[in-house]
Amino acid sequence: MRVFRFTPLSMAIATAFTAPTSGLADEEKAVTLSPIVVTATRQAQNSFDLPVAIDVVEQKNIKDGQLQINLSESLIRVPGITAQNRTQQAQDPQISSRGFGARSSFGVRGIRIYVDGIPLTMPDGQGQPGVVDLSAIKSIEVMRGPFSSLYGNSSGGVIQMFTQDAPATPTLGATAMFGSYDTKRNILEASGQLEGMEYMLNVSNFESDGYRDHSRSNKQMATAKFKFNLTEDTKVTTLVNWFDQDAQDPGGLTKADVASDRKGVVPATLNANTRVSRSHTQVGFNFEHTINPNNTINLITYVGTRENNQILATNATGSNARSSQISREFYGSDLRWDNRGEVAGKQYNISLGLNYGKSTDARKDTNIQGTGLGPNRIEDNIVDNFDQYIQGKLALTDNFDVHAGVRHTKVTLKVNDQLTPPDNSGSVDYQKTNPVLGATWKVTPALNLYANFGKGFETPTFIEAAYNSTAASATPNLTLKPSQSNNYEVGAKAYITDSSLLTLTAFRINTQDELVVSANSNGRSVYANANNTKRYGTEISLDTRYENNITTYFSYSFLNAKYSSSYVGNNGLIESGNYIPGTYRNQLYGEVAWKYQPLGFYTALEGRYNSKVYVDDINSQSAPSYTIFNLRAGLEQNLSHWNFKEYIRLENMFDREYIGAVRVNDTNARFYEPAAGRNYLVGINAQYKF
């Protein structure tokens, strides 16, 4: 980690940006603001020196005063990321990176998700971050931009979570939380080390009636990590994730519905009793072997199952309902060789790898209410990928590094129809080689400038390829083309004072064959390829630490995401210049925090602003902008072997009415999912160290 002192340049930059001057220079206080990250290059490096936009969410921002149930709680502070809480648990939170993933109706799309290097994203690009219990996570690395393409079939970014390490002293802990809408969450955890083995166990239970009507949910989760230090050079880590969930789905509302009763649901939701039941079990193994100081081998392999049963209304009144069942088996491996050394007196590192993944969904759609009772779809959806990649860095001079990489991806989607005639079986292959190139110029020890370019590649997921229309006779849509993009990015990272880090990024993305929601009704989302889109924007963050344990953090994102050519969709003519729905032009997050160490007290005030967002391709309606404020506070005591923490969180403290998430291109105009009003969370944690 890099630590800086004041220099004439950093003082000049500080003056230019009106940075705080609180006497830290006189005291020569050294503050670490730039963490070590591994996601960008697969080898541990200082984030300050990398030519990528990457941020780390620390454990305190994951846990302090948080429910720790949705990624959106932690990611709202990251520039370039939109993390919308749907205020219900039937779908994962709406997460997008520079607009990629904004269209997703189910799960997280356009962003690859990992935990300890083990993918939570299937080969087709569909991710389910809800597999991981955030109470077991120590940090989250979030990378945006061109280098994300080196992780395969995605365009927007990479989110990688890292589980807690085992402490040297065995520890037992318990947490109890209570909040609005009869929300309860309980967590039990144990961790420690035993003769060459490190272990971490975490189990939790969550229950809530939800803010809106028909949004009750419960979720049980378990995480177990065992790290075996076989020799000084060989380590094997086993990670097990499990969860089981039931949740009611309140659906979306029209603008008139929101004005009438923002907590309510439409009759179709109640008539069909829309809901979801799902379970997931995944086991991953990470084998690490150091051959010598310059060479290591890493093998990651995983296997898992997932059961999902979604009950959906298939007409406007809910008199017809359908059960959509998916029984999934999946597995995969990633084998990587890392090498570092010198060539012609220049330091380098390089990673070379192979990646394979396969997922098989046994899918059955059954009309369970209304007309046409019985199955209308029985099929196997099979997807696999085989990728090869190479990535490296060369230090051309002490002040100039070049990073480059290339990945070849092949993805195959295959449908085996078992309910015939007609036979809707078929398959499609997608292949692409994506290069990336970046450079960092270390102008001074306190200022780095960087630039990069890369090509992106995004195939349809099976959810996107599921239907060619919203009709009951809909068949798989294997005619969709993958989207391809050219990504450009420049940026600066500067220590503008001894304890203040500024990052500034500008980007431009041109995409062909953008995958968009063409229609969304009757429980079916239909996707199509638009012609061309373009995105450009800026991302800024400023992290500052003052005297007396006061800290501030601010992030700002500007995103201009538009269609750059016209095309005809189900909604009619989509004109060039229309905004891509689900993307926010301006987002701002700010936080002021203070700790008083003698009492173990901490508190923070959070502020968040989102501009208006269009809900359909023709930009006929929009959800208005909003600003909300949250307050959190807590106490911590250490008594002999015991550690106690008590905390409270007040969300939306001024009771602002706003739309938390939107459903893009909903044919029934039920675009809006209202967010909760003022609500609270109270928690207590106790830990015992033996």
The SS3 of residue 641 is: coil
Q: Which domains does the chain have, with CATH numbers?
A: 8-689 (2.40.170.20)
- Inform me whether the pLDDT recorded for 32 exceeds 80: no
Maximum Cα–Cα distance across the chain:
81
Residue 532 forms beta bridges with which residues?
A: 512
Does residue 16 register a pLDDT over 50? no
pLDDT given at position 599: 94
What number is the average pLDDT over the span 370-382? 92
151 secondary structure, DSSP code: G
Of 105 and 605, more confident: 605
State yes or no: pLDDT of 302 exceeds 70.
yes
Q: In the predicted model, what is the mean pLDDT of residues 513-531?
A: 80
Higher pLDDT, 22 or 163: 163
Whose CA is closest to 464, among 475, 446, 480? 480
Region class of 172: left (phi > 0), else alpha (psi between -120 and 50), else beta:
beta
HEC readout, 45-96: EEHHHCCCEEEEEEHHHHHCCCCCCCCHHHHCCCCCEEEECCCCCCCCCEEE
Residues 402, 396 contacting (CB under 8 angstroms):
yes
Strands (E), 209-345: 217-229, 234-248, 275-292, 295-313, 321-343
Over residues 623-630, mean pLDDT: 97
The pLDDT of residue 547 is 93
Q: Is residue 228 a contact partner of residue 236, using CB atoms and an 8 Å limit? A: yes
What is the pLDDT, as a whole number, of residue 523?
Answer: 66
Tell whether the model's pLDDT for residue 307 goes beyond 90: yes
Q: What is the pTM of this model?
A: 0.92
Q: Is 134 helix (H, G, I), strand (E, B) or coil?
A: helix
E strand map for 445-523 = 447-458, 483-497, 500-512, 515-521
pLDDT digits (tens, 9 = 90+) for 218-252: 999 999 999 999 999 999 999 999 999 999 999 99
The DSSP 8-state label assigned to residue 614 in this structure reads: E
> For residues 44 and 401, what is the distance between their CA atoms, to the nearest angstrom?
16
Q: What percent of the chain has pLDDT over 70?
A: 94
Q: Which of 573, 504, 516 is nearest to 541 (CA)?
A: 504
pLDDT digits (tens, 9 = 90+) for 529-547: 888 999 999 999 999 999 9
Compute the mean pLDDT over every residue in the chain, rounded to the nearest whole number: 91
**Count of CB atoms within 10 A of residue 600's CB?**
16
Give the strand pairing for 601-610 and 586-596: antiparallel
**Structure tokens given for 79:** 């520039």
Using CA atoms, how far residue 635 sits from 64, 90, 330, 607, in Å, is 10, 34, 44, 22
Provide the b/e sequence for 112-123 (b: ≥16 CB within 10 Å).
bbbbbbbbbbbb
19 pLDDT higher than 90: no
For the ranges 68-82, 92-106, 258-272, 398-412, the lowest mean pLDDT is seen at 92-106
- pLDDT tens figures, 268-286: 999 999 999 999 999 999 9
At residue 504, the pLDDT reads 98
pLDDT of 352 above 90: yes
**What confidence score (pLDDT) does residue 108 get?**
83
Q: Looking at the predicted structure, is the pLDDT value of residue 562 above 90? A: yes
Spell 288-320 as b/e; 16+ CB within 10 A means b: bebeeeeebebebbbebebebbbbbbbbeebeb
Q: Which of 162-171, 468-477, 559-568 comes out lowest in average pLDDT?
A: 468-477
* CA 656 – CA 650 distance, rounded (Å): 13
Residue 163, φ and ψ in degrees, nearest 5: -75, 160
DSSP SS3 for 6: coil
Is the pLDDT confidence value at 24 over 70?
A: no
Taking 90 as the threshold, does the pLDDT of residue 31 lie above it?
no
**CA geometry: angle 520, 521, 525, nearest 5 deg:** 40
Instruction: State the pLDDT at residue 215.
Output: 96
What digits encode the pLDDT tens for the residues 156-210? 899 999 999 999 999 999 999 999 999 999 999 999 999 889 999 999 999 999 9
> Residue 13's pLDDT band (boundaries 50, 70, 90)?
very low
pLDDT of residue 156: 82
